[in-house]
């Protein structure tokens, strides 16, 4: 199954490091981040899960739940978590899905045969409270993800949903944002009382509305 932006993220049930999981029930009304990693007891994944754990308060402040996936089993997950906690100086509290039969991996297209026929690639999805897929990003197994970038995109998506704006290149929370072409300059000056700077008729900036 090939999942695209705007698709409804499919539900699933699976065992995890924290017990049985129904994905939709786990997410509830929250935003969600589902990310796969190639295998347990691997160095890059160890650093990724450790760093994700350290971002717990950042995700909570954004109403977001994280959940990881590997094709290894529950016992391996639970033992590996002990290593992650020890080596990364953290306490992993989010679930890691056990996907030994690869059902969830195949459902979410996490196995790319040209990269590996047995292990999942380093894929990540951001899913909104309506269960729509809002971001898909895939890294090779050899390259660790940039979770600061994931936070940046999450901030952008949540801001875009709250206001009629877009975010420019390298935007980060607090920077000026862009007035999209669908909003006229006249309308924009009413919507954004902090002001609108017009560079071109199609390129207009305004201070971030919620700061």
CATH of the domain at 134: 3.40.30.10
In this structure, the answer to whether residues 138 and 171 fall within a common structural domain is no
Handedness of CA 192, 198, 200, 201 (dihedral sign): positive
Residues serving a catalytic function are: 45
In this structure, the answer to whether residues 101 and 33 fall within a common structural domain is yes
Which one, of 55, 45, 144, 125, lies nearest residue 94 by Cα?
Answer: 55
Supply the CATH number for residue 184's domain.
3.30.1020.10
Name the pTM for this structure: 0.92
Please answer whether residues 194 and 207 qualify as being in contact, where contact means their C-beta atoms are separated by less than 8 angstroms: yes
* pLDDT tens by residue, the chain, 211 residues: 589 999 999 999 999 999 999 999 999 999 999 999 888 899 999 999 999 999 999 999 999 999 999 989 999 999 999 999 999 999 999 999 999 888 998 899 887 555 554 556 689 999 999 999 999 999 888 899 999 999 999 999 999 999 999 999 999 999 999 999 999 999 999 999 999 999 999 999 999 999 8
Residue 155 lies in a domain: no
- Burial class from Cβ neighbours inside 10 Å (0-12, 13-18, 19+) for residue 96 reads buried
Domain that holds residue 167: 163-206
Structurally, how many domains does the chain consist of?
2
In this structure, the answer to whether residues 99 and 200 fall within a common structural domain is no
Q: Strands across the sheet with 197-200, in order? A: 177-178, 203-206, 197-200
In this structure, the answer to whether residues 118 and 41 fall within a common structural domain is yes
Residue 157 lies in a domain: no
The tokens of 152 are what? 């940046």
């Amino acid at each position: 199954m090939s999942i695209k932006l705007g698709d409804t993220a499919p539900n699933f049930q699976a065992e995890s490091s924290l017990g049985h999981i129904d994905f939709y029930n786990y997410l509830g009304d929250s935003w969600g981040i589902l990310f796969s990693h190639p295998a347990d007891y691997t160095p890059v994944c160890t650093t990724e899960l450790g760093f994700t754990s350290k971002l717990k308060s950042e995700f909570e402040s954004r109403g977001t739940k994280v959940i990881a996936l590997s094709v290894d089993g529950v016992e391996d997950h639970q033992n590996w978590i002990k290593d992650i906690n020890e080596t990364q100086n953290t306490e992993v509290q989010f679930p890691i899905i056990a996907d030994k039969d690869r059902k969830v991996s195949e459902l979410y297209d996490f196995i790319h045969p040209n990269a590996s026929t047995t292990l999942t690639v380093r894929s990540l999805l951001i899913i909104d409270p309506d269960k729509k897929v809002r971001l898909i990003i895939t890294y090779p197994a050899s390259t660790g993800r940039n979770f600061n970038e994931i936070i940046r995109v999450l901030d952008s998506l949540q801001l875009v949903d709250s206001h009629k704006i877009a975010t420019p290149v390298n935007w980060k929370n607090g920077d000026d944002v862009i007035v999209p072409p669908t909003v006229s300059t006249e309308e924009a000056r009413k919507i954004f009382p902090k002001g609108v700077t017009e560079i071109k008729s199609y390129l207009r900036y305004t201070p971030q509305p919620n700061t």
